[in-house]
Amino acid sequence: MSYTELKKKSVEELTKLLTELRAELFSLRFKNATRQLDQTHKINLVKKDIARTLTALNAKKEEGDK
């Protein structure tokens, strides 16, 4: 997911997306620990999506403070 797509979303949508991404990351880590995950690069992709979402969320909150 690109940052430009995330900037268009509302704070509520970003919060919901963040929750979903964190749940997905937990699931991927669990599968990796039990040797059921074949595509381990997906962990890094989800971590980067979480970082982008947090960046967009913090930018929205900063706009609201001003």
Pair 9, 17: CB distance under 8 Å: yes
Whether the predicted model's global pTM rises above the 0.95 cut: no
**Other beta carbons less than 10 A from residue 12's beta carbon:** 8
Stated length of the chain: 66
pLDDT band at 66 (very low <50, low <70, confident <90, very high): low
What would the pLDDT profile of 32-55 be if each residue is shown by its tens digit?
A: 999 999 999 999 999 999 999 999
